[in-house]
Chains A and B, each alone.
Chain A
């Protein structure tokens, strides 16, 4: 069903108008297309309540301009909108992370991204609204909780009129949304104009963004920005993974409108090209949440590779911290590089040669050479021993003592190699690789999904007059036993120590995050079923047999349920809430008047 939905949407990009409308000239200018309404669909009225800058905040925290001051070094020159809040610590992070770390000779324009810890807990007034929008997003596209992304467009050009001899500046978008491809495309439009036309340009851009529809998964969003219209669709968790959502229309002038086929997918093939022979091992390392560092010649290459790593286990969400570009100035530098404890479960992308020494003790190191010197790939067959890694001058490759659990899949390597020989387009190579990872991850995760689904209590154990039944606990042995008959062998022809891989995975932060999310969903489902069962009961009749105290108790409990259902947005059948409300009212009305007055009062917060 999800697939069908997406196909329909794909077509609607080209002809979004309702052609049945007799008076075509009266078609409204707003043309967001909604999915079949999900639960709680009052978004339009909610959007009407948004205040100035709310829409902007739904997309971006702020926009920064980072420049180089001869006396101060890197400095945030402008923060837009001016009222945006950033702590000093956050500003410092942004300053260092927005410029290439070492003199990596990034002459011209470079784009990369970084991620940093949110300094203080800043509660958005939009919180509730954004949660609703986030609910339908796939796990790996949900809004970040404790981190920000920084999307950078860095320009370095010779300029003799400047003391330093160079113009160096970054335009940085700070956001909690992991839409890496989208923000890069956005910057590609914004930054060159900004560098030429300065502040009025930022003002215009922010003003455009503040009139965008909020980032709602499943709709086709029309986003006008600086004379161009971007069209995107944020995937939903109901989409069939691996299906492309938007199609290019035949007539498209990039000065008029641009359709982005994806908002978050990076080119896996291009990013993994230098370490192509080890992709399957890298997939295992990421899946298991192993400490990984990518040493690359530039922030663009380091951030691309880290993003590719994190996304290769999609639709699983990578649960640990990852830093597409990490510098020695980062506030977590000490925490992550200490030798007093085992390396943390993080993926770091670095460019500073200093890290070759600092992170020498790390178990897995990926060295990326200059991606422009391609064609070297075929030589790097062997995994390199860690002791061979001394400096950043070391040869590109993967340095690790790790022994993969699964046997190597020669077919995918051959298939991709053949593609290289036949000069198959990079997009096609990327699609092959993406599908390969998707199938691998799905083969791995399906047995877990199946087992966890079996932990759900039977429907008949749900009684309206008892608390909802508990999920049965996850027992590793039980799960392992299911693998014999319903293991990954059903969907993958790869042989190897799958059991060992699962055992290791169950201890990883990725499992933890995945299971917690599943458990929450299932508990909510149980709550919902319970509430629905309760609504089917004849409460008034039941009350007649009970005392006043018990009736009051029931009202209070039902009110609690109602609040919970609304707060957690339980996946209820439509109409349940209304039914519950009328039940509550009916029970209250059956009580003496003095009690009625008290119970009707809205609960004090």
Chain B
């Protein structure tokens, strides 16, 4: 079985729960009083996908504005980006759209994009309708899930979906991160969205 390192970055507004998602995925724990991230924090987790081991090198970036300019260091070379918004904050969904634009302009051409609407346990306070987000995700051919790091909903699923979209390495041993192009996606993956 071969091991592949896949760089994954998490992007999104401050406080939407990027670190909580990573903590839930890696450590399977949740801390409501997590400190704001400085720069970015790094964690890894290896999962089996078919005949490969996917080792996710996860860069969980800071959402605070003063670290905004550092983002390219983290999405550079990434095989996938998980852009997170908070379903109870309309603003955070707007920020997400800006991240998509930035990735399109400056990100790796084949990066796999996943959109995670976090805090889906707080339905009473919902501001972003699931359908709007899903339509948007479909329009850019991104993976879409609503998640709750707190209740461990759909966290592993995001990463499984990412694994599915990471193309198998060719025999030539080409580098990782050959994903689907933003905006131009194979029809097969479109089916999984609908």
Contacts and interface: CB of A to CB of B under 8 A. Distances in A.
Contacts of B48: 24-25
A196 B71 CA distance: 13
B45 interface: yes
Contacts of B44: 29, 31, 222
A196 B4 CA distance: 32
A374 to B, nearest CB: 33
B76 interface: yes
B9 to A, nearest CB: 8
Nearest to B66: A200
A70 interface: no
A312 to B, nearest CB: 36
A17 B59 contact: no
Nearest to B38: A207
Interface string B110-144: 00000000000000000000000000000000000
Interface string A215-252: 00000001010111100000000000000000000111
A25 B77 contact: no
Interface string B2-36: 01110101000000000000000011000000000
Interface residues of B, number: 38
A253 B177 contact: yes
A203 B46 contact: no
A253 B156 CA distance: 26
A251 B176 contact: yes
A227 B10 CA distance: 12
A27 B5 contact: no
A393 interface: no
A256 B45 contact: no
A200 B57 contact: no
A201 B53 contact: no
Q: Which residue, A24, A201, A257, has most C-beta atoms of chain B within 10 A?
A: A24
B193 interface: no
Nearest to B169: A251
Contacts of A250: 173
Given A207-B39, A256-B7, A256-B176, A227 B77 contact: yes
B57 A256 contact: yes
A27 B62 CA distance: 26
Nearest to B74: A227
Given A24-B47, A251-B4, A29 B176 contact: no
A227 B76 contact: yes
A25 B45 contact: yes
A17 B57 contact: no
Interface size class of A (residues with CB under 8 A): 35 or more
Interface string B75-99: 0110000000000000000000000
Given A29-B26, A256-B176, A19 B169 contact: no
B155 interface: no
Given A24-B46, A27-B45, A208-B39, A17 B26 contact: no
Contacts of B9: 227
A242 B158 CA distance: 46
A17 B53 contact: yes
A208 B67 CA distance: 14
Contact of A204 (B3, B67, B76, B173): B67
A254 B76 CA distance: 10
Contacts, number: 101
Contacts of A254: 77
A251 B175 contact: yes
B38 A224 contact: no
B194 interface: no
Interface string B141-165: 0000000000000001000000000
A302 B61 CA distance: 40
Nearest to B108: A255
Of residues B1, B5, B177, which shows the largest number of chain A Cβ atoms within 10 Å of its Cβ? B5
B10 to A, nearest CB: 12
Given A200-B67, A257-B5, A257-B57, A27 B176 contact: no
Given A204-B67, A253-B77, A256-B176, A24 B53 contact: yes
Interface in A159-214: 193, 196-197, 200-201, 203-205, 207-208, 211
Contacts of A197: 69-70
A228 B66 CA distance: 20
A191 to B, nearest CB: 13
B1 A204 contact: no
Residue among A29, A193, A197 with the highest chain B CB neighbour number at 10 A: A29
Contacts of A205: 39
A158 B70 CA distance: 25
Given A27-B45, A200-B67, A19 B1 contact: yes
A42 interface: no
Contact of A200 (B7, B59, B69): B69
Contacts of B3: 14-17
A222 B57 CA distance: 11
Given A17-B3, A17-B53, A193 B39 contact: no
A255 B74 CA distance: 9
A24 B4 CA distance: 13
Contacts of A196: 69
Contacts of A211: 41-42
Contacts of B53: 17, 19, 24
B182 interface: no
Contacts of A224: 42, 57, 59
Contacts of B59: 224, 227
A449 to B, nearest CB: 42
A17 B73 contact: no
Contacts of B45: 25, 27, 29
B107 to A, nearest CB: 12
B27 to A, nearest CB: 8
Contacts of B27: 29
A88 B170 CA distance: 58
B166 interface: no
Contacts of A255: 7, 76-77
Contacts of B26: 29
Interface string A1-39: 000000000000011110100001101010100000000
15 contacts: A16-B3, A17-B46, A17-B53, A24-B48, A197-B69, A197-B70, A204-B39, A222-B44, A227-B9, A229-B57, A250-B173, A253-B175, A253-B176, A256-B176, A257-B57
Interface of A: 14-17, 19, 24-25, 27, 29, 31, 193, 196-197, 200-201, 203-205, 207-208, 211, 222, 224, 226-229, 250-257
Given A15-B3, A25-B45, A200-B66, 20 more contacts: A14-B3, A17-B46, A25-B156, A27-B46, A29-B44, A31-B44, A201-B70, A203-B39, A204-B40, A205-B39, A207-B38, A207-B41, A208-B39, A224-B57, A226-B70, A227-B73, A229-B57, A253-B7, A255-B7, A255-B77
Query: Which 10 pairs of residues, A with B, have the shortest CB-CB distance?
Result: A204-B39, A255-B77, A227-B73, A224-B42, A24-B48, A25-B47, A207-B38, A29-B44, A256-B7, A227-B74
